[in-house]
Structure 1
Amino acid sequence: MAVVTVDFDGTLYQGNSFNVMFQAGQKEFTYKEWTTVYRHLTVALALGVTKGKNAFRHQFFKGFAKTFKGKTEAELDRFFEKLVDLGEKDIHYGLVEHVRKHQKKGDHVVILSGALRPFLKAFVKKIGLDVDIIGTELEYYPNGICTGEIGTIVNGDEKVRKVREWMFHKKRQGLLTDDTVWAYADSKSDLPLFEFAHYPVVVNPKSDIEKVAQQKEWPIIA
């Protein structure tokens, strides 16, 4: 029973999650919340120019999360369910079937992504997958109200750290006896995860990671 990690953005979900967030915000956000988003978006764009795509993405997530301050977990669950509905057409159902085949073999499937965990939770609910989820956490006060802050973004080397941690706990519980790891992902930022996995599979790759996959003879699926 192997461990199968599956990325979200660009892999299970082939649309642009940023666009979907903006679409949902147009229907849900107040003027004050939009002001918060655009203030942080300006900073994110500047960071994107100087430090790259991941810096942009991280700052955008932080700014977007600020709009959730004061909301309950139930309110946020409803918001992210609407988000998934807006992006339903871009779900990679072919890969969903790959995941189901792994499950039929008894493999442990983990959705592993830098996306916000409530978004991932709504996503797997929508497609009817019973899997574990590792994503970027929204933080809450003890009374269940969102603080507007996020935990460490699960990206790059952090993905490997999170998988190792997850596997350690599963072993202690007696639920995992096989260290074999599969990794389905799409991005060059996933190289640490691909190198960690015994069976890396590159999904719908951009040219940079496609070249790496060809050099290393990793399988590629569209």
Structure 2
Amino acid sequence: MSAVRPAHFPPVREGAPLVVFDFDHTLYDGDSGSHLFAWLIKRSWWRMALALLIAPVAGPMVAWLPTRRRGISAFVWIGTVGLSRARGLDAMIDRYVALHTAQIRARLLPIALDVLHRHRVQGDRVVVATGAPPELARAILAFVAHEDVPVVGTLVGPRLGALAARRHCHSDMKMTMLREVGFDAPVEIAYSDSSADLPLLKAARAPVVVNPKAGRVDMFRRVLPPGTPILNWGCPGRAGDPVAPAEL
């Protein structure tokens, strides 16, 4: 991915506010990790058969927060049998992004990228925190969107001849992992679609809900400060007040 030249922005100014973006359904229309691991599984018939076999158990686990990490790990394991190190997955991620550039570019949300650019032009301290593997979001942003923004994401490690999620960058753990890598200043603005990111949104001085599921809007209005923006950045099938590029 180093052949792609990132966009140039002013350096982060001293004392700049910390701005945190989620990735899936915030900058990217969909679940980027699911798209990656579906591709990894579809590489061979036996991976597909095994995924179908475990889906009745692992699928509901992914949908339920307390068991989500275990459910995701099961599918990650199937997709990565034969890989024993995280850098092997990084190489597969780079290949996946290179092979699917057009499709990925179509899923990046232009309004979201405009907001990201605005913060970087202002010299804000911007970081993407995602439940996907960090190399995936990093590669998409660098190769497709020409962005070099820092990314914190789910860490994987060896397990039974494959890889599995070792630390899932999700819910409270997302805040922990941000602090561990030096993003320990108070969060000024946080952008996310997900109720799993309530710890992040509640920690932010100015939370912004973007592209939420329609069934979650009332909950966000109830638990977040009055007047919290609930916006739609052009993500089909999601709720929120529509935002046009000219409004940014």
- Range of TM-score over shorter length: 0.7 to 0.9
**Offset at residue 16 of structure 1 (A):** 4.3
> Structure 1 unaligned runs (5+)?
172-177
Q: Which amino acid aligns with 1:92?
A: L
Relative to structure 1, is the Cα distance of residues 91 and 53 closer, same or farther in structure 2, using a 3 angstrom cutoff? farther
Output the aligned Cα RMSD: 2.8
Partner of 1:174: none
> Structure 2 unaligned runs (5+)?
1-15, 233-248
Match of 1:42 among 53, 56, 62: 56
Alignment of 1:18-97 (within 5 A): 20-21=35-36, 24-25=39-40, 29-47=43-61, 52-54=63-65, 57-66=68-77, 67-71=79-83, 72=88, 73-82=90-99, 85-97=102-114
Equivalent-residue separation in structure 1 for 2:193 and 2:118 (angstroms): 20
Alignment of 1:164-175 (within 5 A): 164-167=179-182
Alignment of 1:1-222 (within 5 A): 1-17=16-32, 20-21=35-36, 24-25=39-40, 29-47=43-61, 52-54=63-65, 57-66=68-77, 67-71=79-83, 72=88, 73-82=90-99, 85-125=102-142, 126-139=144-157, 147-167=162-182, 179-215=186-222, 216=225, 217-222=227-232
SS at match of 1:106: coil
Partner of 2:7: none
Aligned residue pairs total 206
User: Conserved in 1, the CA contact under 8 Å of 2:93 and 2:136?
Assistant: no
Equivalent-residue separation in structure 2 for 1:16 and 1:46 (angstroms): 16
Equivalent-residue separation in structure 2 for 1:128 and 1:213 (angstroms): 32
SS at match of 1:182: strand
Identity %: 26
User: Conserved in 2, the CA contact under 8 Å of 1:24 and 1:83?
Assistant: no
Q: Which amino acid aligns with 1:124?
A: L
**What TM-score do you get using the length of structure 1 for normalisation?**
0.78
SS at match of 2:138: helix
Partner of 1:175: none
Q: Which has the higher helix share?
A: 1
SS at match of 1:115: coil
1:39-59 Cα shifts (integer Å, max 9, x gaps): 3323213436xxx44357534
